[in-house]
Amino acid sequence: MSFHAAAPATTTIRLLDSEGRFVETDENAEYAAAARAIPDETLLAMHRRMVITRRFDHAAHNLQRTGQLGLWVPSHGQEAAQVGSVFALRPQDHVFPSYREHAVTMTRGVEPMEIISLYRGLTHGGWDPDERGNTHISTLVIGSQTLHATGYAMGMRLDGDVGTGDADRDACSIVYFGDGATSQGDVNEAYVFAASYKAPVVFFLQNNHWAISVPVSVQSPTPLVDRPRGFGIPAIKVDGNDILASYTASVVATDHARSGQGPAFVEAETYRIGAHTSSDDPTRYRGDDELASWVERDPIARSEGYLRSRGVTDAQLAEFDAEGEAVAADIRTRTPQLVAPPMQVMFDHVYREPHPRIDEQRGWLEAYEADQDGASHA
Ligand SMILES: Cc1ncc(C[n+]2csc(CCOP(=O)(O)OP(=O)(O)O)c2C)c(N)n1
Ligand SMILES: [Mg+2]
């Protein structure tokens, strides 16, 4: 399915209604055909990942409320957008997440405790992309990861890793960012470079309607999906709480990028059910009715409805709940046991190679600590 032919520009691709019933229309026909071909094992694997992430997210939030984490960034409500997109990736693709993509990073092999350690303030990002499915560390500087992903994709193109037709070689990068990030200069510069250099990068926007307390209507008078089109990047909007739409659109977008035709863009319309972070109180700026209308479109309930219509049993679904509970129990046990590393490690990953200014600062700290030690023994 070609990106341009896939659907009219004004369509929001939706394949599951709020009860999880399959919806087929003239406009979504190509996506519907692709969705019907998804094997049951993939549907189950995606559902499992969503359920585990939701349970992990709640447990981590509770750990923050009991003082075990410095901060938590909830992902509740955005599971289908994240899981559908990451399941479209191949091992050789590279992932550039922001701070809320727990389902994405865990699917690529990041350990739950690595995410927990980050939000306990014990690491600067804490994993090696080479060992974690080419998952680069979470970027908290809004939008800057779009440039990292674009630059990486430009390199992939220079290396000849696009358009060879070899499924194990052709690669793309995917970058996750939010509606608020679209207002950053970095994001728009990334669009320019990606389009000009035909970089194999997929821009995956999770429009969760809020940038902390600023509604998306303030970010742009035009639909966000129209912006990349102005830069020459083909773009599609999907119901981001619909796992089938998120997955099929991401397959189309990543295939487009890997084929050498240049960047692609997916806007997944979703909603942040929880607070922006554990430091935020959303009742100060949004109403109960808005929240309730999105709770009704819960991505996990819709996926579950669809799976049941395909004959998945209570017992199978209960297994995923049990797995999620085991992950939650594990982080509850292990988080209080985490040990703070020596202060010097904060210099370790500033640069990949040794750097004289960093060595100088590390040396200063060591001398200072030795001096303090000496003073306390005097
Ligand atoms: C460059 C920069 N400016 C401001 C901030 C403060 N900040 C943190 S999160 C956020 C809102 C981001 O909203 P959005 O892009 O929609 O992502 P979401 O949190 O909704 O997932 C802001 C302004 C930041 N981290 N980096
Ligand atoms: Mg947002």
Alpha carbon 364 to its chain centroid, in Å, reads 38
Pairing of strands 264-269, 201-207: parallel
Positions marked catalytic: 272, 276, 285
Domain boundaries, given as residue ranges, for the chain: 12-337, 343-377
H-run or E-run covering 173: strand 173-178
**Per-residue burial over 32-65, b = 16 or more CB atoms within 10 Å of its CB, e = otherwise:** bebbeebeeeebbebbbbbbbbbbbbbbbbbbbe
Q: How far apart are CA 133 and CA 93, in angstroms?
A: 8
* Ligand 2 centre distance from Cα of residue 111 (Å): 25
Question: Which pLDDT score is estimated for 346?
Answer: 87
Is residue 207 within 8 A of residue 268, CB to CB? The reply is: yes
Pick the residue whose CA is nearest to atom 3 on ligand 1.
142
Distance, in Å, from the CA atom of 173 to the CA atom of 373, rounded to the nearest integer, reads 48
Taking residue 290's Cβ as centre, other Cβ atoms within 10 Å add up to 14
Cα 208 to ligand 2 centroid, rounded to whole Å? 5
Task: Provide the pLDDT for residue 6.
Answer: 55
State the DSSP code for 340. Answer: P
Q: For residue 55, what pLDDT is reported?
A: 98
**247 — pLDDT class (breaks 50, 70, 90):** very high
pLDDT, mean over the chain: 95
- Ligand 1 binding site (Cβ under 6 Å of any ligand atom): 100, 140-142, 178-181, 208, 210-212, 272, 276
Q: What is the pLDDT of residue 304?
A: 98
The per-residue pLDDT for 374 is 81
Q: Which architecture does CATH list for 12-337?
A: 3-Layer(aba) Sandwich (3.40)
> What is 220-241 written as a DSSP string?
-SS-TTHHHHHTT--EEEEETT
| Residues 132/110, Cβ–Cβ less than 8 Å | yes
> How do residues 219-244 score in pLDDT, each as one tens digit?
999 999 999 999 999 999 999 999 99
Distance CA 190, CA 230 (A): 13
Of the listed ranges 117-126, 303-312, 326-335, the least confidently predicted one is 117-126
pLDDT of residue 173: 98
Most informative mutation of 142, 186, 206 for ligand 1 (most atoms within 8 A of CB) = 142
Coil, strand or helix at 163: coil
- For residue 122, report the distance from its CA to the centre of ligand 2, in Å: 26
Q: What is the best residue among 78, 203, 212 to mutate for testing ligand 1's pocket, by most ligand atoms within 8 Å of CB?
A: 212
| pLDDT tens-place string over residues 93-108 | 999 999 999 999 999 9
What's the pLDDT score for residue 124? Answer: 79
Give the torsion sign (CA, 331, 333, 336, 342): negative
Question: What atom in ligand 1 is closest to the CA of residue 141?
Answer: 26
**Per DSSP, which regions of 180-338 are E strands?**
201-207, 210-211, 214-215, 235-239, 264-269
With a cut of 80, say whether residue 275 has pLDDT above it.
yes
Separation between Cα atoms, residue 318 and residue 330, nearest integer Å: 18
Token pair belonging to 307? 């799976």
Q: Which pLDDT score, from 0 to 100, does residue 352 have?
A: 83
User: What's the whole-model pTM score?
Assistant: 0.95
Average pLDDT of the segment spanning 310-325: 97
Would the pLDDT of 286 be above 80?
A: yes
Percent of the chain with pLDDT strictly greater than 90? 90
Residue 4 has pLDDT above 70, yes or no: no
At position 327, the amino acid (one-letter code) is: V
